[in-house]
Amino acid sequence: GPDFHQSLYCHLLCGLIFHEEIQLVSSTFAHSIVLAFRTFEQVWEELCDDIREGVLTSRITFPSVRSAMAKLLKPNPELADLIEKKCSRLSNWYGLIPELFPNVKYIYGIMTGSMEPYLKKLRHYAADVPLISADYGSSEGWIGANINPSLPPESATYAVLPNIGYFEFIPLKENVEEHMQENGNVSFLSMEPKPVDLTEVRVGEEYEVIITNFGGLYRYKLGDVVKVMGFHNSTPEMKFVCRRNVMLAINIDKSTEQDLQFAVEEAAKLISKKKLEVIDFSSNVDVSTDPGHYVIFWEISGEVSDEVLTECCNCLDRSFVDGGYVSSRKVDAIGPLELRVVRRGTFQKVLDHYLGLGAALSQFKTPRCVGPTNNKVLQILCDNVAKNYFSTAF
Ligand code: AMP
């Protein structure tokens, strides 16, 4: 189908029609699995109506999709009643996946790195169905296999596939070896550390991955940071750490994607007491103020009082642990962190924007840091701000 929303609706409908045959729930990235079941929460009654009557909702407008669905859809009031009964006995949709699909064995998709923030919600839908984190790959080539799939996603490591490409690793240790290079008459200081080969990486250290693949891509920097956790035979086992280019920096601070994820997780605990959650988040540095400050965008699943959100804002500010950030905040070289709460559906608009540009939904990752060159996304976020708060933590 040419429209993602219509396709997702029909995908859910097919899942319900064949609910006993579903053995596996999977998508490339965990984000899309969560999105599918969040959508289910909104449309389940309409899905049941379609099943009861055997007629597809008029919302689905593409003739090719309608005729494909017409072949599968027959009036089935028993099934509609069964699904309605199942849905109404769930508490806050906990265990939705095994309830709908009683024969499901596991849930599979990339759940590490920037997908970790969706794990909590996925576990909620999955109840005791195991979550299996998929391998580590990219459009440029596969990188590593999750050889211990029964470990929880938080502990997943990836054994590098040594024959799938040629891998090199740029060490990211702080004490970068500085060396002088002669370039004609000019001497200059090069801060870029020399990459090491696959077997030269050291356990416990972090690296950026470089790939040379059989397609002819030569020494391409993936932009991913990995940590070596050990070896599987002679190939390193890596933990995915974060994207290298997600960085909030104003002064001497360098806050990574991981720092941001940690801060959001800490602050989200304050609203989880009220059975609410952060649906999605992003960030930006605002240097239009003097001094500049971090801005965190949150979409929340319900109403939260100003008092709690002020606390969340303070907690976010305190939870950025980078030394440069903390010291800059103390001397006011970075201004108070700002929490901007956006309206429901804002991150859906961000997704729609990327899909409109031709991005594949299966590869979508919410941008965690929106830089000045990403005007359109920044505009979507800023246009949808419902409330904002400034930290008083320092
Ligand atoms: P793409 O080329 O758009 O499909 O995205 C590839 C990127 O997704 C990689 O460079 C990583 O940043 C991320 N990615 C892929 N697999 C994993 C994984 N198992 N864990 C964490 N991030 C991953």
User: What is the span of the domain harbouring residue 277?
Assistant: 257-390
Q: Is the pLDDT of residue 177 over 50?
A: no
Q: Kindly indicate the confidence band of residue 185, based on its pLDDT and cuts at 50, 70 and 90.
A: very low
Q: Which of 229-233, 342-346, 373-377 shows the lowest per-residue confidence on average (mean pLDDT)?
A: 373-377
DSSP 33-57: HHHHHHHHHHHHHHHHHHHHHT---
Query: Which residues are paired to 225 by β-bridges?
Result: 208, 242
Ligand 1 geometric centre to CA of 245 (Å) = 13
Ligand 1 site: residues with CB under 6 angstroms? 110, 112-113, 136-139, 222, 224, 240, 243, 363
184 in any annotated domain: no
Q: Atom 18 (ligand 1): residue with closest C-alpha?
A: 136
Q: Check if the beta carbon of residue 322 is closer than 8 Å to that of residue 254.
A: yes
Q: Atom 9 (ligand 1): residue with closest C-alpha?
A: 138
Ligand 1 atom, smallest distance to 143 CA: 16
163 in any annotated domain: yes
252 in any annotated domain: no
Q: Check if the beta carbon of residue 238 is closer than 8 Å to that of residue 158.
A: yes
Ligand 1 atom, smallest distance to 135 CA: 19
The pLDDT, as a whole number, for residue 244 is: 85
Ligand 1 geometric centre to CA of 216 (Å) = 20
Residues 261 and 381 in one domain: yes
The pLDDT, as a whole number, for residue 274 is: 84
The pLDDT, as a whole number, for residue 360 is: 86
The pLDDT, as a whole number, for residue 60 is: 97
How far is it, in rounded angstroms, from Cα 143 to Cα 166?
10
- This prediction has a pTM of 0.86
How far is it, in rounded angstroms, from Cα 206 to Cα 256?
13
Residues 99 and 219 in one domain: no
How many CA atoms lie less than 13 Å away from 29 in the CB half-sphere? 18
Ligand 1 atom, smallest distance to 133 CA: 19
The domain total for the chain is 3
End position of a domain, from candidates 133, 162, 183: 133
Residue 158, Cβ density class (10 Å: 0-12 exposed, 13-18 middle, ≥19 buried): buried
Q: Atom 7 (ligand 1): residue with closest C-alpha?
A: 138
The pLDDT, as a whole number, for residue 29 is: 92
249 in any annotated domain: no
Residues 287 and 377 in one domain: yes
Residues 127 and 233 in one domain: no
Q: Is the pLDDT of residue 178 over 70?
A: no
How far is it, in rounded angstroms, from Cα 337 to Cα 266?
15
Residues 118 and 238 in one domain: no
186 in any annotated domain: no
Q: Is the pLDDT of residue 176 over 60?
A: no
Pair type for strands 255-256 and 166-171: unpaired
Ligand 1 atom, smallest distance to 113 CA: 21
Q: Evaluate the CA torsion angle 128, 129, 135, 137 in order and state its sign.
A: negative
pLDDT tens sequence across 122-166? 999 999 999 999 999 998 999 999 999 999 999 999 999 999 999
How far is it, in rounded angstroms, from Cα 282 to Cα 264?
10
Q: Atom 6 (ligand 1): residue with closest C-alpha?
A: 138
Q: Atom 13 (ligand 1): residue with closest C-alpha?
A: 138
Residues ≥6 apart with Cβ < 8 Å to 197:
167, 168, 169
Residues 263 and 383 in one domain: yes
Q: Check if the beta carbon of residue 122 is closer than 8 Å to that of residue 154.
A: no
Residue 29, Cβ density class (10 Å: 0-12 exposed, 13-18 middle, ≥19 buried): buried
275: left (phi over 0), alpha (psi -120 to 50) or beta: left
Residues 261 and 318 in one domain: yes
Q: Check if the beta carbon of residue 324 is closer than 8 Å to that of residue 312.
A: no
pLDDT tens sequence across 76-95? 999 999 999 999 999 999 99
End position of a domain, from candidates 181, 214, 243: 243
Q: Atom 8 (ligand 1): residue with closest C-alpha?
A: 138
Between 30-53 and 4-17, two packed helices, what is the crossing angle to 10 degrees? Answer: 70
Residues 210 and 316 in one domain: no
Residue 240, Cβ density class (10 Å: 0-12 exposed, 13-18 middle, ≥19 buried): buried
185 in any annotated domain: no
Q: Which residues of 38-68 are buried (b: 16+ CB within 10 A; e: fewer)?
A: ebbeebbeebbebbbeeebbeebeeeebbee
Residues 9 and 118 in one domain: yes
Q: Is the pLDDT of residue 186 over 50?
A: no
Ligand 1 geometric centre to CA of 59 (Å) = 34
Indicate the average pLDDT of the chain.
Answer: 92
The pLDDT, as a whole number, for residue 215 is: 92
Residues 108 and 232 in one domain: no
Which of the 8 DSSP states describes residue 381? Answer: H
Work out the percent of the chain whose per-residue pLDDT is above 70.
Answer: 95
DSSP 286-351: E-SSSS-EEEEEEEESS---HHHHHHHHHHHHHH---HHHHHHHHTTSSPPPEEEEEPTTHHHHHH
φ, ψ of residue 381 in degrees (nearest 5):
-65, -50
Q: Kindly indicate the confidence band of residue 361, based on its pLDDT and cuts at 50, 70 and 90.
A: confident
Residues 203 and 266 in one domain: no
221 in any annotated domain: yes
Residue 269, Cβ density class (10 Å: 0-12 exposed, 13-18 middle, ≥19 buried): exposed
φ, ψ of residue 187 in degrees (nearest 5):
-100, 135
339 in any annotated domain: yes
Report the chain's terminal Cα–Cα distance, integer Å. Answer: 52
Q: Check if the beta carbon of residue 14 is closer than 8 Å to that of residue 38.
A: no
Residues 52 and 86 in one domain: yes
* 186-to-180, 182, 192 alpha-carbon distances in Å: 10, 6, 17
Q: Which residue has the tokens 């979507």?
A: 380
